[in-house]
Each structure stands twice: as C-alpha cells, then as structure tokens.
Amino acid sequence: MNGLLSLWPAAWSRQQKSSATMLAASALLLLILWLLAIPLSWAPEPIGNNAQLFAEGTRVTVELTVVAGLAGVVLGLVAALGKTSRVAPLRWLASFYIWVMRGTPLLVQVLAVYFALPEVHPVLRMTEFTAACVALALNVGAYNAEAIRAGLLAVPKGQIEAARSLGLSRWHTFIDVTFPQAFKISLPPLVNNIVALLKDSSLAFTIGVVELTNAGSQVKSTSFQAVPVFIATAIIYLLLTTVMTLISDAVERRFDIEGKLG
C-alpha cells in the first residue's frame, strides 16, 4: 500500500504532462488551421498568391480526418462486437464487411460511394465531402475493428468470469471490466489508423473535394510549377501529421495506467 502511495505523485505528474502536451498540440493544430495563410503568403510564387487556397484545403483535410476518424471508431467498435458475437449472422456480416473493406483499394471505395451508390438508389446520392467521409470511415472502420477485436480477445477470461460470479450482468461486465482494458490495448493501433487517415484523405481529390492535394493540383495546373507546389503540399502534410502524432502520443500516455505507475 505504501508503495502504491509513493508512486501516486509520479503518476499524477505524468498525467498532468500528457494533458498539457495534448492541449498544447491541439492549440497548435488550431493555430495552423486558422493562421496558415499568413506564413504561406510570404512564400515565393506560386505559393504566396495561392496561400488562401492552400489554407482552405488544409482545413478540409483536417475536417475529413476528424469526421471520418470518429465515425470509423464507432464502426470499428460495432464490427468488432459483431465479429466476436455468439450470433452467427452477426459474425458473418461483420466478417464480410471487414473482408471487403480491407481487401479492396480505398480509391475504389471512394469512387464506388460517390458514383455507384446513387445508381443503386437516388436517395444514396451525396455531396463530394459526405461521400469522401463515408468511404474513409468505412475503410478505417474495418481496420479499427480488427484492432478493437484484438483488444477484446486480450482481456483475460478469468476477469470476465470473476465479474459474472460477483453478479454483474453481461452489459456491466463489458462496460466496467472488458471494454476499458480492451480500449487501452487497442489505443496505439487506433491512433495510428487516425494519423494514416490524414494522408489517405488525399484520395478525396478524385471526386472533386478541394482538400490539400486538390488545392496543390489546382495551383500546379495554373502555374505549371510542379516542384514548389508539391514541396509546399508535402511540408503541410508533414506538419499536420507531426502535430497529430503529438496529440496521439499524449492520448496514449494519458491512458497508459502502467506507465503512470512505473
């Protein structure tokens, strides 16, 4: 008991540091989104006179990542629960979804959602941004499902049996015992999937979403200067992924209970 109490200040300090890092990185991301046009306007042509277009494309890229990323986590959880379900049709349906999404190119999925679904039924017609979010969420959801399923299976069955023997229902056993441990185990691959989603969002360019890659392509087409345009685009992507990695690392440390007590 005394040993645990002696570790509490260190755990609290690490928790504060991770929270501070998360807030700082989030604030930096917001500053990048709203003030990016200012430093870009100082860049040589053709970047300087198209700074606002690059800034707007960057904001759309982050919006795609956040919306599709959150939806993908929900889809991943549902699919993981379906694949581990005792109900055979749910397992088959979840396995089919994961098999299709992981076995076909994301580019094909983006094009199919935007062009093919409206032919199935007109109500499925979407805007370019919505179609891109749906396709990205469906894709990352399949990868999240496998990460979450691995986390669920990693929880020792003895803990579940102990919770049931204490009178907890299946629902409370899942919420209070299984899911918190599975979430912590699944967190590293989940955050990696979100960071990768930021780069995958560039495929929304193919259906006309004016995100960062599309913005760079437009500037290249009008200026005929590919080298500075793609260098600027790559630098912005690198900056975004760096900041998002800082946020994801802080989130991992925030939930790393063993790390706080180590």
Q: Which DSSP string corresponds to 194-220?
A: HHHHHHHGGGGGGGT--SHHHHHHHHH
Domain boundaries, the chain: 2-261
Residue 261 parent element (H or E)? helix 257-261
Among 3.40.50.2300, 3.40.190.10, 1.10.3720.10, 3.40.50.720, what is the CATH number of 2-261?
1.10.3720.10
Task: Specify the pLDDT at position 55.
Answer: 93
pLDDT tens sequence across 107-123: 999 999 999 999 998 88
Q: How crowded is residue 77: how many other Cβ atoms within 10 Å of its Cβ?
A: 21
At residue 142, the pLDDT reads: 96
pLDDT of residue 261: 44
21 three-class SS: helix
Q: Tell me: the pLDDT tens digits for 6-56?
A: 444 555 566 676 677 767 777 777 777 788 888 888 888 899 899 999 999
Regions of the chain where pLDDT drops below 70: 1-15, 17-18, 22, 255-262
pLDDT score of 92 = 96
**Per-residue confidence (pLDDT) for residue 169, from 0 to 100:** 78
